[in-house]
Structure 1
Amino acid sequence: MYTMYRYDRPSRRGGGVLIAVRSTLASEELLFDESRNSEFLCVKLSFSDRSVYITCSYIPPSSEFPEYQNHLSAIQSILNKLSKL
């Protein structure tokens, strides 16, 4: 059994990103305002002595520059959050 985290393309048919985590592992999706405009996921796996962060993103071919900026902003948000821990 797996816990599925997914973000489907809001404006197009098909596509999106998915992270599947074994249900026996403690996990949670981290949400960032910056990531809602792009196909981007971040999942935190919690273990007794540490946490691991997994990201998954997709940038379609021939994307405009703002799409790359959205992804960079989402990654920067993760780094900012982790630096405060």
Structure 2
Amino acid sequence: MKFSSQIKPISYLKSHTAEIVRELSEKREPLLITQNGEAKLVVMDVKSYEELEETLALLKILALGNREIEQGKFRDAEDVFAELDK
């Protein structure tokens, strides 16, 4: 994940919470929080989080579909349409 300049220590999060909330809502870029120089959390606005969750759900559906195709669990489109036409 790319964070550019959005990396702050946990002390910054504690002392600038309102400002961080405003910035995250406006910029919609995640903020990486460090503790003792190590990455510990990612903070993001709710809309970005919901979009991320939707994207992950779609990727899971695609992965399941690919797995079923690899296992031969599919029908030709022509067969499906022929059955629908009956």
Larger Rg belongs to: 2
Task: Kindly indicate whether structure 1 or structure 2 has the higher relative contact order, using CA contacts under 8 Å at least 6 residues apart.
Answer: 1
**Structure richer in strand, relative to its length:** 1
Asked whether the two chains share a fold, i.e. TM above 0.5, the reply is: no
TM-score, normalization by structure 1: 0.29
**Structure richer in helix, relative to its length:** 2
